[in-house]
Amino acid sequence: MTYLTYNKNKILLFATLIIMFVNLWTIIYLAPMIPDQEWAQRIFYYHVPLAWNAFLGYFGVMIFSITYLISRNTKWDVLAQAAAEVGTIFCLLILITGPIWAKPIWGKAWTWEPRLTTTLILFLLFIGYFMIREFGGPYERSSRYAAVIGILASIDIPIIYYAVDFWSPQVQSHPQRDMGGHASAVMQVFYFSLFTFTLIFVNMMRYRSHVRKMELLKLEEENV
């Protein structure tokens, strides 16, 4: 049984694709133009929901890893791995879209300011996580190691979020955490985009964990 044989998965994917196009349309035609940033400002509607998705994924890794270590039920390990992969895909996208936005706005694509540096560190930590998964030995052992690394790496998430408060404002390029300064039209488009990307996240998580589950079932059958 493939993932798309189930009707609910098909409907979810189809609905997500339509909402993705609607989201693009609202960003292009409904979002108000902010005078000093022009088109580059619209990258915000992609960049911030991508960051939300990455954190959702990594937060999932932490929760599922803790549950796995306590219960030793493979179900949680499957979910942790799926969350880690999807989170890293979105983390990669933050690291791609950020510099594209920064080039016209800050004048240079990358500065070593706290939030950028800590995000890059998080990305590299999870590259290590996948290496442990791949080369950590037998399944039971590698997934236990991976769970511990997943939990430790997740400590970086609040550091990224509060990076704008931790370090002095002189070294910051990112805006402060409160977004109160935005007009309501901006926020409506933004929340719709957030919803769209959360749907994409749910689709990817479901698909990846389904395939991983099937892989493990196949391995079990081969070993019996």
Partner 1 sequence: MFSSYFIAVIISVWIVVFGYWMYVRNKEKTL
Question: Is residue 42 a contact residue for partner 1 (CB under 8 A)?
Answer: yes
Residue 178: strand, helix, or coil: coil
Angstrom distance (rounded) from CA 175 to CA 177: 7
What is the token pair recorded at 93?
A: 């996208």
- Nearest one of 114, 89, 106 to 167, comparing CA atoms: 114
Query: The tokens 């609910």 sit on which residue?
Result: 8
Q: Binders of partner 1: how many residues, by CB under 8 A?
A: 30
Inter-CA distances, 150 with 5, 90, 110, 170, 201, Å: 32, 16, 27, 32, 19
Inter-CA distances, 58 with 14, 21, 88, 128, 214, Å: 26, 27, 8, 14, 23
Which of 9, 12, 19, 24 is close enough to bind partner 1 by CB under 8 A? 24
Question: Is residue 220 a contact residue for partner 1 (CB under 8 A)?
Answer: no
In whole angstroms, the minimum distance from the beta carbon of 18 to partner 1 comes to: 15
Tally of residues, the chain: 224
In whole angstroms, the minimum distance from the beta carbon of 59 to partner 1 comes to: 19
Binding span for partner 1 by CB under 8 A among 36-44, 113-121, 141-149, 173-181: 36-44
Which of 67, 74, 97, 173 is close enough to bind partner 1 by CB under 8 A? 97
Question: Is residue 214 a contact residue for partner 1 (CB under 8 A)?
Answer: yes
- List residues near partner 1 by CB under 8 A: 2-3, 24, 38-40, 42-43, 46-47, 50, 85-86, 89, 92-93, 96-97, 100-101, 103-104, 200, 204, 207-208, 211, 214-215, 218
